[in-house]
DNA sequence: CTTTGGGAATATGTATACACAAAAATACTT
DNA sequence: AAGTATTTTTGTGTATACATATTCCCAAAG
């Protein structure tokens, strides 16, 4: 793989968006970016087109590019798309899994359980949250990998990134409630795992479908409180189910 | 909406790909295209990036662009993705449909039935095939519209286009068998329709899932005969379920 | 004080020139 | 004559200049 300036610009801008340096709605002027990155406007424009394809950037003719921002309906649609894909993947996983693949899913599940139990005891769970999110991703990724559909995998990962950028800000308070939702998430994962273990396709789909539905409703509820119609992330992990 | 040269180039190249003028694997040199279209290389390159995002074009650094071609596995993955989305959409449609929306779905179904019955009598059904394909698309589109998820709609339509370009060529012969599969398709549609009419979400999903599965298997079978690992369309409608 | 209009400033879209990598054609060696 | 090295050519990636559309600002009018 040759490394061209377009890639440099792409990675640069993408990183800034994903780490929240460029917030949703922020304009992305090619001139500024080219100066900041140290390449000309041409590869910057190329990079912006790539990011538009990723769903992270919006480009309007004669107006320019900006970091993607969505309204509530778009966000719901996004979650629906993800729900469709993860549900389908869960079904495939239940159908095709080998024992070793199942073990990986179980390991991720157990790692999450350990962390949640640590959380119950710990006063401050901020650093545990990062671990939890990582294992959560690992669980879902393990299932997607077993589904063995590269296109679906790519699509889900793309959606995950958009979710991370254009998402609900972290609650901050109400730790007790969060702990409760975490237990529910764990139960959902357990259900999904068991269905896959039993190679019960319908049950796996059903469990994943409900898991995704619950997650959407939880996030919507959190957003409803704020009465926001447009929103962006503060790199919260709330939507990283 | 402002019309910029990038759009001109985009539409030009896209049209050539969709009508089979540029076949799968064909190189798309920016210089030739810019001369042919009458714009400079810059908007052509932009257009190629857009087409890459659509999944119709592959771009390799320092090599250039070419019309997308896929192997069998990629095609299967593509069908899987579509299956996931259409199944989910069918579920939503069953949940949310109004009476008038249901009527549109039924109209498309009945239009298809009329055409198939004409086909049974007709000696030459070539022109009827076009009508059939149109009503088939109309049926699926009606369901997708009722699902009211713009993102999923866009995605399915994107996949449809790729399907049209990178797909199995029409069989040509064996009309009797084709007529039989057409009847089966009609039955599948009937099933889907009835489930949506009854607002039976699970049944709608199940019926659509099987419909998509059958379609994939039919196409795979046709491809298997040819023993092709890479293939392109001759604008056949076989995969336009 | 707000609104409207016109001009300056800015940024985008496009064309084009150039450097260099890849492909093709040619010459050279065995 | 076949394979290899070398040159030529082609085409991509990039920088940059320019035209034009948009935005910004301020002045004038309501």
Tell me: the pLDDT tens digits for B17-71? Answer: 999 999 999 999 999 999 999 999 999 999 999 999 999 999 999 999 999 999 8
What residues in B contact A42, CB-CB < 8 Å? 42
pLDDT at A121: 85
In a shared domain, residues A158 and A142: yes
**In a 10 Å sphere around its CB, with 0-12 CB exposed, 13-18 middle and 19+ buried, how is residue A221 labelled?**
exposed
Nucleotide at minimal C1' distance from the B41 CA:
C15
What residues in A contact B7, CB-CB < 8 Å? 61
Looking at A68, A97, A123, the residue that finishes a domain is A68
Position B232 pLDDT exceeds 90: no
Among candidate residues A153, A167, A147, A150, the one with its CA nearest the CA of residue A241: A167
Q: What is the mean pLDDT of residues B128-155?
A: 95
Q: What is the mean pLDDT of residues A62-67?
A: 96
Position B14 pLDDT exceeds 80: yes
Domain assignment present for residue A211? The answer is yes
Pairwise pLDDT comparison (B224 vs B54), residue with the higher score: B54
Residue pair A55/A74 in contact by the 8 Å Cβ criterion:
no
**Mean pLDDT over the full length of chain B:** 88
**Mean pLDDT over the full length of chain A:** 88
In a shared domain, residues A142 and A204: yes
In a shared domain, residues A134 and A199: yes
Domain assignment present for residue B107? The answer is yes
Mutate which: B6, B51, B80, B203, vs A, most A CBs within 10 A: B80
Position A220 pLDDT exceeds 80: yes
Residue A228's pLDDT band (cuts 50, 70, 90): very low
In a shared domain, residues B30 and B87: no
Question: Which residues neighbour A45 within 8 Å (Cβ) at sequence distance 6 or greater?
Answer: A30, B46
| Residue A158 burial (CB count, 10 A) | 15
Pairwise pLDDT comparison (A64 vs B227), residue with the higher score: A64
Position A230 pLDDT exceeds 60: no
Q: What is the pTM of this model?
A: 0.90
| Residue A174 burial (CB count, 10 A) | 11
In a shared domain, residues B107 and B150: yes
What residues in A contact B49, CB-CB < 8 Å? 46, 49-50, 53
In a shared domain, residues A111 and A58: no
Nucleotide at minimal C1' distance from the B32 CA:
D11
The integer distance in angstroms from the CA atom of A54 to the C1' atom of D12 is: 24
| Residue B1 burial (CB count, 10 A) | 7
Domain with B130 in it: what CATH number?
Answer: 1.20.120.530
Position A153 pLDDT exceeds 70: yes
Position B153 pLDDT exceeds 50: yes
In a shared domain, residues B87 and B45: no
Domain with B59 in it: what CATH number?
Answer: 1.10.10.10
Residue A176's pLDDT band (cuts 50, 70, 90): low
Looking at A20, A49, A68, the residue that finishes a domain is A68
Position A236 pLDDT exceeds 50: no
What count of CB pairs under 8 Å joins A to B?
A: 80
- What CA–CA distances, in Å, run from A48 to A11, A41, A162, B36, B140? 10, 10, 15, 26, 34
Position A174 pLDDT exceeds 60: no
Half-sphere exposure of A21 (CA within 13 A, CB side): 8
DSSP state of A174: -
What residues in B contact A45, CB-CB < 8 Å? 46
The integer distance in angstroms from the CA atom of A33 to the C1' atom of C10 is: 15
**What tokens does B12 get?**
């030009």
Domain assignment present for residue A236? The answer is no
Identify the bridge partners of residue B28 per DSSP, sorted by sequence position. B65
Domain assignment present for residue B221? The answer is yes
pLDDT at B45: 97
Q: A60: Cβ under 7 Å from strand D? A: no
In a shared domain, residues B118 and B145: yes
pLDDT at A177: 59
In a shared domain, residues B169 and B83: yes
Compute the nearest-CA separation of B185 from chain A (Å).
22
For chain A, the residues whose C-beta falls within 8 A of a C-beta of chain B are: 1-2, 4, 6-7, 42, 45-46, 49-50, 52-53, 61-62, 74, 77-78, 80-81, 83-85, 87-89, 92, 149-152, 155
- Give percent above pLDDT 70 in chain A: 87
Q: What is the mean pLDDT of residues A99-121?
A: 94
Position A226 pLDDT exceeds 60: no
Structural domain total, chain A:
2
Position A239 pLDDT exceeds 60: no
A231: left (phi > 0), else alpha (psi -120 to 50), else beta?
Answer: beta
Point out the least confidently predicted range of A40-44, A121-125, B14-18, B208-212.
Answer: A121-125
Asked if the Cβ–Cβ distance from B84 to A83 is below 8 Å, we say no
pLDDT at A125: 74
Position A235 pLDDT exceeds 60: no
Residue of B nearest to A85 (CA): B84
In a shared domain, residues B209 and B133: yes
pLDDT at A126: 79
Domain assignment present for residue A180? The answer is yes
pLDDT at A78: 96
In a shared domain, residues A113 and A215: yes
Strand D nucleotides, any atom under 7 Å to a protein CB: 11-17, 21-23
In a shared domain, residues A206 and A90: yes
Provide the edge-to-edge strand list for the sheet that holds B64-67. Answer: B27-28, B64-67, B57-60
Residue of B nearest to A78 (CA): B151
Domain membership of residue A83 as a residue range: 71-231
For chain A, how long is the longest CA-to-CA vector? 57
Asked if the Cβ–Cβ distance from B87 to A92 is below 8 Å, we say no
Residue pair B13/B48 in contact by the 8 Å Cβ criterion:
yes
Q: Is A60 strand, coil or helix?
A: strand
The integer distance in angstroms from the CA atom of A205 to the C1' atom of D27 is: 66
Asked if the Cβ–Cβ distance from B61 to A87 is below 8 Å, we say no
Point out the least confidently predicted range of A130-134, A233-237, B23-27, B173-177.
Answer: A233-237
For chain B, the residues whose C-beta falls within 8 A of a C-beta of chain A are: 1-2, 4, 6-7, 42, 45-46, 49-50, 52-53, 61-62, 74, 77-78, 80-81, 83-85, 87-89, 92, 149-152, 155
Residue B165's pLDDT band (cuts 50, 70, 90): confident
């Amino acid at each position: 793989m040759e490394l061209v300036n377009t890639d440099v610009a792409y990675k640069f801008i993408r990183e800034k968006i994903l780490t929240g340096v460029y917030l949703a709605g922020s304009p992305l002027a090619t001139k500024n970016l080219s100066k900041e990155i140290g390449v000309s406007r041409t590869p910057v424009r190329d990079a912006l087109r790539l990011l538009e394809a990723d769903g992270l950037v919006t480009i309007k003719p004669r107006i320019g590019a900006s970091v993607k921002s969505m309204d509530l309906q778009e966000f719901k649609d996004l979650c629906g798309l993800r729900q469709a894909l993860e549900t389908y993947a869960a079904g495939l996983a239940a159908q095709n899994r080998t024992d070793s693949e199942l073990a990986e899913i179980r390991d991720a599940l157990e790692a999450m359980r350990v962390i949640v139990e640590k959380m119950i005891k710990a006063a401050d769970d901020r650093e545990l949250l990062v671990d939890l999110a990582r294992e959560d991703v690992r669980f879902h990724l393990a299932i997607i990998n077993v589904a063995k559909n590269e296109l679906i995998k790519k699509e889900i990962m793309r959606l995950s990134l958009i979710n991370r950028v254009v998402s609900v800000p972290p609650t901050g308070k109400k730790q007790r409630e969060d702990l409760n939702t975490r237990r529910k998430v764990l139960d959902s994962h357990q259900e999904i795992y068991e269905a896959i273990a039993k190679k019960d396709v319908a049950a796996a789909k059903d469990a994943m479908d409900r898991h995704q539905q619950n997650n959407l409703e939880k996030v919507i509820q959190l957003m409803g409180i704020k009465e926001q119609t447009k929103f962006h992330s503060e790199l919260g992990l709330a939507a990283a189910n």
